[in-house]
Amino acid sequence: MRIFDTMRDQIVDLKPKDPGKVSIYACGPTVYDVPHLGHARTALTYDVLKRYLTWSGYEVALVSNITDIDDKIINRAADEGVSEDQLSQLYTKIYIEQLQTFGIKDPDHRPLATQFITQMITIIEELMENGSAYEIVGSGVYFDVSKFGGYGALVNRSAEDLRDSAKARIASDEAKNDPLDFALWKTAKPGEPTWDSPWGSGRPGWHIECVAMSLDILGENFDIHGGGSDLTFPHHENERVECEAAGYSFARHWMHSGMLNVSGEKMSKSLGNFQTLGDAMERYGARPLRLAMLQAHYRSLMELSEDTMAGAIGGIERIDAFYRRMDAAQIGPEKTDANAKDRFSGAMSNDLGTPDALAVIFDLINAGNSSLDSQDFERASVSLASVTELLDVLGLGKVKKDSNDEIEKLIQRREVARQGKDFEEADNIRDELRSQGVEIEDTPTGTLWRYS
């Protein structure tokens, strides 16, 4: 498989540390609010990556963390009048439940940052001992960027350039050696949760959390570190330099999923176009939303609009109509189409090319429908088996068939009326079904129905 490696700034061969195994660390959310569409797109990227690698025969270990201590959590908990633990546990539960509804499989490990404080302190001590970090009494411990050659390599920029262009976003402390220096350990403030350390009570900085979790669970030199492209700097670059300065080998490859626009603009609360995952799934459905995201390449800037979602809803209807026709014709899946699977694999192995992979699936659906039309049931079965297997790789599998005895009886009455050429009665039954939110479709192999 080939992936775009952010560090190398090009598509490269994925070369796992251990043959036949792939280890992935994908940065999870800071849980102070409900998940939004950006969280969903990032989680989807690594969910599909794991699904595909597993389907391809790899043994995959996916770690996706929860940041359960952070300034945003502390501030939100204070606003809500609850403890930081109560707040983070609530939003962790909501995050997991909504991702599951979205079709995201649970990772193999979902560590909480607060479970790894001891490991974080150990790494900070190592950085202090080798001169890569320094303490400011009353403030905390900071990483000394000047001691690390090549800072900024992950974003292909020099430290000078980053310093000049990021002054507004870099937290500054007048006592720091350099504005780019960042906190490894933050001295306790009144009312905040704290842990004991060699530098007094306090809490960890954000970046050291992911270093400790990834190294402890996956070990050095793990295969892929992933996340959204907004994390490339400063979060991932700071992780990288912390780890390497402490003497550890970090990720072999870096992957980053793209951002998401809503109706032509970057999603933000200030613009009024902010969409939570829960609201979007309620409005469009989980499967159409998932399809819409997969129709865009994971590294691209995705445009989510009403037109995008209308197309995705239509795509899911094509999939479901295909299954309804196969069910009505009593076609079962047997052997798969090896050529189609090769084309699918070729698309996915080319930097997780889900748009081209979906095109293979819809070609199979068209072929299956044509086979049914010509009553070539053997070829139809091949299409069905292939579509079913490949949709499962993308997490877009078949939904449970609608079932309702009363509706089935009405459809049987309508069929009797049609055969007796009582078309007025047949139309009346169609209208009655429509009033119940049921759409019907007459096909050569029988009448199909679904809830509209």
Residue type for position 207: H
Instruction: Find tokens 């995050």 and name the residue.
Output: 95
Give the pLDDT confidence score for residue 225 in this predicted structure. Answer: 98
Structure tokens at 233: 């700097």
In degrees rounded to 5, what are phi and psi of residue 264?
A: 90, 0
Express each pLDDT in 80-133 by its tens digit. 999 999 999 999 999 999 999 999 999 999 999 999 999 999 999 999 999 999
* pLDDT (0 to 100) of residue 410: 86
- The sign of the torsion formed by the CA atoms of 226, 232, 238, 241 equals positive
Tell me the two tokens of residue 381: 């079965």
**The CATH homologous superfamily of the domain defined by 2-258:** HUPs (3.40.50.620)
Short-list 203, 297, 231, CA closest to 28: 231
pLDDT, residue 277, reads 94
Give CA–CA dist 396/250, Å, rounded. 34
3-state secondary structure 231-271: HHHHHHHHHHHHHHHCCCCCCCEEEEECCEEECCEECCCCC
What pLDDT is stored for residue 383 in this prediction? 97
Q: Return the SS3 of 438.
A: strand
Sequence letter at residue 315 = G
pLDDT of residue 420: 86
- pLDDT (0 to 100) of residue 442: 78
Give the pLDDT score at 269.
Answer: 52
Give the residue ranges of the chain where pLDDT is below 50. none
Q: Are strands 140-143 and 182-187 parallel, antiparallel or unpaired?
A: antiparallel
Q: Say what the pLDDT of residue 167 is.
A: 61
**Bond into 234 cis (ω within 30):** yes
Beta-carbon contacts of 113 under 8 Å, excluding residues fewer than 6 positions away, are 65, 66, 67, 68, 69, 204, 209, 213
Separation between Cα atoms, residue 97 and residue 93, nearest integer Å: 6
Beta bridge partners of 377: none
Residues 398-401: contacts with CB under 8 Å, at least 24 apart? 398/319, 398/320, 398/323, 399/287, 399/320, 401/323, 401/324, 401/327
The CATH number fitting domain 299-394, selected from 1.20.120.640, 1.10.240.10, 3.30.450.370, 2.40.30.10: 1.20.120.640
CA 278 to chain centre: 14
